[in-house]
Homo-oligomer: A and B are copies of this chain.
Amino acid sequence: MGTTTEADYPPTQRSRVKRLHDRARYDRETVHAILDAGLLCHVGYVIDGQPYVTPTAYWREGEQVYWHGSSASRMLRHLKGRPRVCFTVALMDGLVLARSGFHSSVNYRSVMAFGEAEVIEEADAKRAALEAMMERIVPGRWPTLKPPTLQELKATTVVSLALEEVVAKVRSGPPKDEPEDYALDVWAGVVPTSIVLGRPASDPDLKPGVVVPENLSRIRIG
């Protein structure tokens, strides 16, 4: 196994981490926690032998991740053919500054999932998925919005990938230098990085009298 955690997602030839395997996690708890902290994923797919990597917002429900976009987008039109994809989420947690360039690194949490993306066709399923997306981003906001029209649902493609062939990788903590290098007069440590939310900026065309809703305080990223 090369890991100390339980393998909810049994490693395959693709998902098994071969190098630095102490960073690998195959357990559901770690994978879900990383996925639930992120907001942007990078989806990899292949057209005519050329790989494409498209950043997009995603969300998780149970053992599925979802993303969406315009039905006219290149990525989403391509995914209707159920090609194999790679779904990657990476959260940067800090710059690891070692006493040598060689051992300098980045603290991060990442998830990589492989499989065939499935397009959700049915309007009610799409609506439910889009509601779940908004609830992930701003809990409580969906019921306050204009409900999606059938035309909007048609113009939106929702894609889902089952979490089956999945691996998480985590690096945390201080640098790991060569034993003799700890005697050097070089500062070493971690500069933490995180995503922060700024003060909400109201639309300049906001209807007078509409106030900033309390639910914005419930946004959680990172």
Contact = CB atoms under 8 A, between A and B. Distances in A.
Interface string A88-125: 10101011011111101010101010100000000000
Which 5 A/B pairs are nearest by Cβ-Cβ distance? A192-B198, A55-B90, A44-B51, A44-B53, A53-B88
A13 to B, nearest CB: 10
Interface string A182-222: 11111111111111111111111111011111001001010
A152 B102 contact: yes
Contacts of A206: 187-189
Nearest to A194: B196
A52 B43 CA distance: 9
A90 B187 contact: no
Contacts of A213: 187
A24 interface: no
A86 interface: yes
A162 interface: no
B72 A55 contact: no
Nearest to A68: B101
A194 B131 CA distance: 25
Interface of A: 14, 18-20, 39-40, 42-46, 49-55, 57, 70, 72-74, 84-88, 90, 92, 94-95, 97-102, 104, 106, 108, 110, 112, 114, 130-131, 133-134, 137-138, 141-142, 144-146, 148-149, 152, 155-156, 174-175, 181-207, 209-213, 216, 219, 221
Please indicate which of the listed interface residues A51, A188, A189, A199 has the most CB atoms of chain B within 10 Å of its own CB: A51
A144 B57 CA distance: 40
Contacts of A86: 44, 50-53
